[in-house]
Chains A and B, each alone.
Chain A
Amino acid sequence: AQSVTQLGSHVSVSEGALVLLRCNYSSSVPPYLFWYVQYPNQGLQLLLKYTSAATLVKGINGFEAEFKKSETSFHLTKPSAHMSDAAEYFCAVSESGRTGNQFYFGTGTSLTVIP
């Protein structure tokens, strides 16, 4: 089974500063990797996904992530934080089984943006 580790359950950055949210995965096969964002009392919204094409993936709202196979990492970055980025962020890996697929999620990182 796959697993996802998100280092840092809480991250605080100043408005305008770099955002870096860390994600490491374990997978015995080339993974499909995703970042989702969850605002309070809402479902998850897809930010970006890696599906074995370009290693640098650009997503919505200025976020991007880089797949590094040697480090089994898929860290999420944004050059300049905005107040509206404050939310919970989840990294996920998709595993295909014999008849379907399931997502394994990390425990999440809560991002606080300080004015």
Chain B
Amino acid sequence: DAGVTQSPTHLIKTRGQQVTLRCSPKSGHDTVSWYQQALGQGPQFIFQYYEEEERQRGNFPDRFSGHQFPNYSSELNVNALLLGDSALYLCASSLGTLRSEQYFGPGTRLTVT
């Protein structure tokens, strides 16, 4: 049973560029959440997707956007990258949206120079 997978594992971008991160949920899961984890911090909730719609959003600017596909996989897009966007980006999947436990992928390490 495949767990949550994310790609790429590492990414280096320049300020002002755009980046797309990808996530495939655990088999049987239909909900995907994205988190940003800065060095030495806990994960911060970005948004959650269910039925191809953004259902909940944390305190992140519109530069952060996402998408969910019919097969439940998801993308996180970040435009106009800032140095402060450097972080580990975690994808978590769950079954449904109501307080279900979340299973995390290994993350994508984004470095903005």
Contact = CB atoms under 8 A, between A and B. Distances in A.
Interface stretch (B12-20, B65-73, B76-84, B101-109): B101-109
Nearest to B109: A41
A108 B44 CA distance: 12
Q: Which of A36, A51, A100, A108 has the most CB of B within 10 A?
A: A100
Given A32-B99, A45-B104, A105-B42, 20 more contacts: A34-B101, A36-B104, A41-B106, A42-B106, A43-B4, A43-B107, A44-B90, A51-B99, A94-B99, A97-B55, A99-B55, A100-B31, A101-B56, A101-B97, A102-B33, A102-B48, A102-B58, A105-B35, A107-B42, A108-B42
Interface of A: 4, 32, 34, 36, 41-46, 49, 51, 90, 92, 94, 96-97, 99-108
